[in-house]
Structure 1
Amino acid sequence: MKLWDKGGTPDEHMDRFTVGNDRELDQVLVGYDVMASRAHAEMLGKIGILDPGETRAILRELDRIAEEIRAESFPIEAPFEDMHSKIEYELTRRLGEAGKKIHTARSRNDQVLVALQLFLKDELVGFRDRIRTLFDLLMALAEEHRDILLPGYTHLQVAMPSSFGLWFSAYAETFIDDVHLLRAAYRVADQNPLGSAAGYGSSFPVDRAFTTARMGFETQKFNVVAAQMGRGKVERTTAMGLASVAGTLSRMAMDICLFMSQNFGFLSFPDSLTTGSSIMPHKKNPDLFELVRAKCNILQGLPNQLALLTTNLPSGYHRDLQLTKALLLPAIEDLKACLEITTTSLRSVRVNRNILDDPRYDYLFSVDALNALVQEGMPFREAYKEMASLIESGNFRPEKKVKHTHQGSLGNLCLQEIRLKMEAAWPPAIPG
């Protein structure tokens, strides 16, 4: 069944090419299409297109279809082009003439938009919650290991003292920036496009304020052309938020891969979270984090893929936009998996408490020694030259104690301030 079918028979190759994998992707979205169809049916009843009996019957069958979807017993088979045609077919099969009325005053264009935006709203809240779980774990690890020092690097050269408290909470605070972008994407998605029909509105007196409230949108995309132009834009905006999360995860995964190597030896994981070699029995490879790094690096290209797909499209609907789902939906699943495996693994992380016993890290303390000379009254440039001379002659003897007290430093991690910052970024009690 095709909603645009006028009675002819389309070319089989054309049909296969244009449908692509939409049926599989729509299995993810079909529950949201039912949700939107329910609000639409109530609205059609409100404005007199459906009589009360038809409205009740359609709502009853939509509820049954929703139960079948939850039970994974509502497949979108090959004869159907997409979720919209399957739902309309089922309503017509079950209800007869009343089922044929469900498409009144809407188009597949606003149908797919509203289903996708309802889906993205839920997914973005889910990402916020997954990040919050990882954030809380990182903050707990920062508190637990706050005083254990490790080397800080610039240019991959030994630089200054850092700590596991700094390292764990650095990534925790960086995730707050990602949450800001996810919340912005949520607000873009939180605008009801239903009622824009094919992109130019309808001669039916649809009540868009009613469906906006019924589906829980904060507002509607008022201009019907702007609503249709949201297709592609809401996906790109979401992709920017996902890519930001992926960038943070990828960088942390890279740190972990370095820190696990024998040359660093800063942290380790149980054998169950590493892999071996087919010929080297001593290997404990960080495959898990290498794959997180790789998947997240690919995800960082998602906004560009969507931008290239939608670049230079004029206003109105174009079939190009169908392909946004095939890019975005798998990316969402990949990022979920990366967040979940990272969180699970970090619960078992082991830190090396004696890293700085190695003399290769003695020079970490040269800056603190230089600063001590300045605090005693020596001009900075003279202190710098004196310290450089001590290092060059091999006479530098570090005092391996840190006296950093300013906000955000080794001795003042500001963990509570970071927690409050996350709370304010997107409070759990506020959807968007």
Structure 2
Amino acid sequence: MKLWQKDKSALAEVEKFTVGEDRAFDLLLAPFDVLGSIAHVKMLSRVGLLDAGEADLLVQELKHIYATTLDSQFVIREDVEDVHSQVELILTGKLGDAGKKIHSGRSRNDQVLVDIKLFLRYELEVLVREVKDCFDLLQTQSEKYKDHLLPGYTHLQIAMPSSFGLWLGAYAESLADDLLTVQSAYRVANKNPLGSAAGYGSSFPLNRRLTTELLGFEDLNYNVVYAQMGRGKTERIVAQALANVAATLARLAMDVCLYMNQNFGFISFPDELTTGSSIMPHKKNPDVFELIRSYCNQIQALPNEIAMMTVNLPSGYHRDLQLLKTHLFPAFQNLRDCLQMTCLMLSRMQVKEHILEDEKYRYLFSVEAVNRLVLQGVPFRDAYREVGRSIEAGTFSYEGELHHTHEGSIGNLCNDEIRSMMDKVLKGFPFDKVKAALEKLLH
């Protein structure tokens, strides 16, 4: 059933093709559709398009529908096209003509726009909290293992001494930067498109600033054509932010897969966190991290997928945009799963001690030998050549002591400063303001 349907029904094959998987994804949008409708009803009452009695009845019924969206009671009937239609049909069935008035001054275009913005805003907040949990664990493990040395590599060749504290702390700081891009995506999502209607506004005297305040948005999408053009652009920006977090996790997962390899042997995990082989009894495979790597690589492809789906669209709404949900929405859960599994694994990681005492790592200390000569007054280029000649002659000897004191080095990880950096990023999210606005809207 289409509330916008005219006299002729669509061919069944056309109906099936155009609706696709939309109902399933619309269930995710249901609570946000209701929130947008509550704000819209209150605004319609304020500008005189609904009387106070009608508005009160509609808001009360919408609050009841909202509760059903949170406990899995809300369903979209098979003969109903989308969540917007389902909500309006429930209202009309309960309240008659008052339910029919709720669509005044809006289109399904700006309804789905505001639903998606609210959904993305919510999902990004959940993601931020998951990233913060992973950040905290990385910092804890960085401090715990800051004195445990391991080889550092460039070009996959042994390069200079590193430490587990330095390694884990690097990924913590990476997540702090990743959240800067999540914050930018959040700010783009946190603008109100409601009232843009089909992309060209309305002749009704709508109060768009009021719905912005009621829904806790930071600001409006002012230009109504741009509000509609924001569909696709917003999703792409959000996808890029997800991809940045995913890139950090994928790189960490690749490191772990290498370090678990017997030829490295730097870390291990309890048997219950690894998998075996059907024919090789010695195997302890890093399946969890291999899947994290693959899921995260898939998420890194997402911005390009969305770009390719929207690259040649002119302004205005196009049905192509419907398919963005099928690509973007599952990515949030996949990324959360990867963050949670990363935390589970790293919390049980076992670190090998005294790795650098192995003779094969002696050349890691060549730079230390060069620097020691420089500190004795030898010019750097001469010191470099002297140590290089000793390596070629097989006479190089080394000391395993390290004296790194500058900011961010093995001996001065700056984890407190990195935590301050993360705290500053987190304070830039207006989560409390949004929560207060929505609580007020629902009470």
TM norm structure 2: 0.96
Alignment of 1:183-332 (within 5 A): 183-332=183-332
**Which residue matches 2:27?**
27
Q: Distance in 2 between matches of 1:428 and 1:136?
A: 18
**Which residue matches 1:148?**
148
**Which residue matches 1:126?**
126
The one-letter amino acid of 1:49's match is L
The CA deviation string for residues 333-372 of structure 1, in whole angstroms up to 9 with x for no partner, is 1111111111121111111112112111111001101111
The CA deviation string for residues 119-160 of structure 1, in whole angstroms up to 9 with x for no partner, is 111111111111111111111111111111000001100110
Post-superposition shift, 1:413?
0.8
The one-letter amino acid of 1:22's match is D
- 2:325 partner SS: helix
Does structure 1 conserve the Cα–Cα contact (< 8 Å) formed by 2:58 and 2:98?
Answer: yes
Does structure 1 conserve the Cα–Cα contact (< 8 Å) formed by 2:106 and 2:197?
Answer: yes
The CA deviation string for residues 361-406 of structure 1, in whole angstroms up to 9 with x for no partner, is 1110011011111111112222112111211222212100101111
**Which residue matches 1:349?**
349
Q: Distance in 2 between matches of 1:337 and 1:85?
A: 32
The CA deviation string for residues 231-265 of structure 1, in whole angstroms up to 9 with x for no partner, is 01110010010000010000000000001111111
**Which residue matches 1:104?**
104
Q: Distance in 2 between matches of 1:271 and 1:45?
A: 63
The one-letter amino acid of 2:413's match is L
Q: Distance in 1 between matches of 2:4 and 2:331?
A: 30
**Which residue matches 2:168?**
168
Q: Distance in 2 between matches of 1:428 and 1:382?
A: 50
State whether structure 2 residue 28 is matched by structure 1 residue 52. Answer: no
The one-letter amino acid of 1:154's match is T
The CA deviation string for residues 264-302 of structure 1, in whole angstroms up to 9 with x for no partner, is 111111111101111111111000000000110111010
Which stretch has the larger CA shift, 416-425 or 193-202? 416-425
**Which residue matches 1:430?**
430
Q: Distance in 2 between matches of 1:212 and 1:321?
A: 24
Does structure 1 conserve the Cα–Cα contact (< 8 Å) formed by 2:175 and 2:248?
Answer: yes
Identity over aligned residues, as a percent? Answer: 55
| Structure 1 stretches of 4+ moved >4 Å | none
The one-letter amino acid of 1:394's match is G
**Which residue matches 2:394?**
394
Post-superposition shift, 1:60?
1.1
The one-letter amino acid of 1:288's match is V
- 2:202 partner SS: coil
Q: Distance in 2 between matches of 1:427 and 1:285?
A: 40
Q: Distance in 1 between matches of 2:418 and 2:99?
A: 54
Q: Distance in 2 between matches of 1:379 and 1:227?
A: 62
Q: Distance in 1 between matches of 2:155 and 2:40?
A: 58
Does structure 1 conserve the Cα–Cα contact (< 8 Å) formed by 2:183 and 2:429?
Answer: no
Q: Distance in 2 between matches of 1:217 and 1:383?
A: 61
Q: Distance in 2 between matches of 1:136 and 1:126?
A: 16
**Which residue matches 2:439?**
none
State whether structure 2 residue 180 is matched by structure 1 residue 180. Answer: yes
The one-letter amino acid of 1:233's match is K
Q: Distance in 1 between matches of 2:135 and 2:426?
A: 13
Q: Distance in 1 between matches of 2:228 and 2:360?
A: 61
- 2:151 partner SS: strand
Post-superposition shift, 1:230?
0.6
- 2:103 partner SS: coil
Does structure 1 conserve the Cα–Cα contact (< 8 Å) formed by 2:127 and 2:332?
Answer: no
- 1:426 partner SS: helix
Post-superposition shift, 1:428?
7.4
- 2:427 partner SS: coil
Post-superposition shift, 1:78?
1.5
Q: Distance in 2 between matches of 1:62 and 1:371?
A: 71
- 2:304 partner SS: helix
Q: Distance in 2 between matches of 1:129 and 1:259?
A: 28
TM norm structure 1: 0.98
Q: Distance in 2 between matches of 1:100 and 1:418?
A: 54
Does structure 1 conserve the Cα–Cα contact (< 8 Å) formed by 2:192 and 2:217?
Answer: yes
Post-superposition shift, 1:429?
6.8
Which stretch has the larger CA shift, 395-404 or 286-295? 395-404
Post-superposition shift, 1:426?
2.5
